[in-house]
Each structure stands twice: as C-alpha cells, then as structure tokens.
Chain A
Amino acid sequence: MSRLKGRLSWAAMTLLAVVLLAFGATRSSGPSTQEERIDAISKRLACPTCNGESIYVSRASAAESIRNEIARQVAAGQRADDDIVGYIESRFPGSLLLPRAEGVDSLVWVLPVVALVCGFGGLVVVFRRWQREGAVRANPDDADIVAAAMRDHDDPTDGL
C-alpha cells in the first residue's frame, strides 16, 4: 500500500514538472513595446563583423544598419519577430546567436535534457538499490571485536 502511495506521489510530481515546463515554454509574455521588440530581436542576432557580440551590444556600422532594418520592420508591423530574424539570417547567414531547434542543431537543446533525465533516473535506481539492501549488518567477527572492546571498557585495570 505504502509502495503504491510512493509511486503515485512520484508520478504526480513528474506530471506537475512536465506541465509547468510546458506552460513556461509556450506561454506568451504578452504584448511588448516596439523598443522591447527591437531589443529582443537584436539580442538574438550576432554582429556580422565583430566576434561574439550581438547586434544589440555592437556599435559597428553593420550592426547599426541591421538594427535600423529591424526597427523599420517592427514599425511596419508586417512581420513577426521570428520572421524578422529569419530575414536577417537569410541576408547574413550564420548570424543566429542561438541555434534553432531543428536538425542537428536541436541536439544542443535535447542533449542537456537527456543528460538530466538519465542522471535523475540513475539516482532513482541507486536509491532504490540502497533501500532494498537495507542497513549494513555486523558479522560475527565484528561482534567479537565490539565485545572485546566493551570488556576493556568495563574493566580499565585489565592489563596493568
């Protein structure tokens, strides 16, 4: 009965975690201002002429031009953020700072989750094994050693 309860609580916790993750991943952050949209898009794109800087951070001429283009497209209101990122990437291939969740790139997103699940599963297996094996029991030799030690303790004059 208690085993069934334990399993049920594990299942409930797993379900809750999955639901919360799915909610967090898919929920909309709500409407944002044009400036916020421009900043958010700029942070997703790499400056084509500088190493390791985003369009948002870089002051390079090419980055300024791309920021202007993002601002123009946001102001026009005809494209979603992903479409604007797609347009810039089509002009400057390799400008995505974060890999897409498609093809081989998706491994970047999938592998950490797989590692987490495997680690969690491993811990569950180990804990279960420890539980089954129970506490460490003393063998007769251990009992003799303890008895001898107790005798010494009871009669401290022994051996004088």
Chain B
Amino acid sequence: MTTARRLSRRLAAVVGLVLVAFFVVLAVSKPRGDADVSSPLIGNPAPAVQSTLVGGGSFDLSRRKGSWVVLNFFNSTCVPCRNEHPELVAFAENQDGLADGAELFTVVNDDTDEAVSAFFEEKGGDWDKIRDPDGAIAVAFGVAKVPETWVIDPTGFVRMRVAGEVTASFLASRIDSMREMLTRTGS
C-alpha cells in the first residue's frame, strides 16, 4: 500500500471519528439549565418595568426596592417552563417562610391571560403575573427564549440571569449567597 493511500485512510478514519463524537455529544447533551448566563445588565440597575397584572392591578419594579425580586419569563406552551413550574412553586413557598424572602413574579411572554390563568389554576402558584403584551420587558432584559429567570437585589441592581430551567434549591442557594455577600460588603 502506498504512503498516500495509507495517509488518506487514516485521515478518513479521523474525520469519521470526529463526526461520530459530534453526533454523540449532540445526542447526550442536556438542555441548558441552572446556569448563570452573562448579560451587560448584571451589576447594573434593572431596566424600568411598569405594566399591568393578569387578573388586575399594576406592577412597577422601582416600587419593589427593599426586596429581592425574581422575574421569571414564562409561556404556558413552552415545555421547559412547564417542567420548571413545580420548582418555582417550591421556591415561592420556601421564600414565603423567610423574613426577607424574595418576591417571585412571572413575566408573561407572548401568551394570553386566559392560557396563563388556566395554567396557574391547574398547576398552582399564587404569585403575580406581569403582562408584557408587546415584548417590551423581554427586550429590555434581552430575553429571546423562555424560560429565563432574573434576580434583582433590594437596591434595584441586576444580580443574576439564568437561561433555561431553574431548580428551587439552586435559586434559593444563589440568593442566600448573594444576600450574605451584600450584607458583608454593606452595599
């Protein structure tokens, strides 16, 4: 066998292996979740959020200063949103029991009041749902896909962004550590 033929066979084998590895990685990789995602907003004041609530009432983020605020961007037809919902219910219950527990809000993304109300009635969760009819809140935060979860500290600064599904324990532990850090630094 000539050297050129040997070399081309080896090259073909390497290319084949790389392709197989690529497909294996694609097949076994899990969807993103519980992972902080960078954003130019982190460490900066949160964008202004003023809107109305599903079921009546209004919401103004600037009036929530003094509390940790968790905004969860949601759509009732999105599968990861439905998957993470029990975790959010657990998180809300956990935070309700704390003196300085975080306030959870859903930001409705491209969905109807009826669908959202029906979903929460069936799956639970009595926190407020903020309307975002023209996507202004989503654009202000740079949210392109749901679910996404954002954490805003009591001074109104954005502290964390999670793209994909979150778990109650992850969210609670991250907020705890940020709470401690803010207490330590006194800011």
Contacts and interface: CB of A to CB of B under 8 A. Distances in A.
Given A90-B40, A91-B141, A61 B136 contact: no
Contact of B144 (A48, A69, A72, A90): A48
A142 B144 CA distance: 78
Interface residues of A, number: 15
A64 interface: yes
Contacts of B109: 61
B51 to A, nearest CB: 14
Contacts of A90: 40, 142
Contacts of B128: none
A62 interface: yes
Interface string B130-162: 000011101111111100000000000000000
Contact of B142 (A49, A64, A72, A92): A92
Interface in A58-78: 61-62, 64-66, 68-69, 72
Nearest to B136: A69
B145 A65 contact: no
Q: Is the interface of A mostly helix, strand, loop or mixed?
A: helix
Nearest to B135: A65
A93 B136 CA distance: 17
Contact of B135 (A61, A88, A92, A93): A61
A64 B139 CA distance: 10
B139 A49 contact: no
Interface of A: 48-49, 61-62, 64-66, 68-69, 72, 88, 90-93
- Top 6 closest pairs, chain A to chain B, by CB: A65-B135, A91-B142, A48-B144, A62-B144, A68-B134, A61-B110
21 contacts: A49-B144, A61-B109, A62-B143, A62-B144, A62-B145, A64-B110, A65-B110, A65-B135, A65-B138, A65-B139, A66-B135, A66-B139, A68-B134, A68-B135, A68-B139, A69-B140, A88-B139, A91-B40, A91-B139, A91-B142, A93-B142
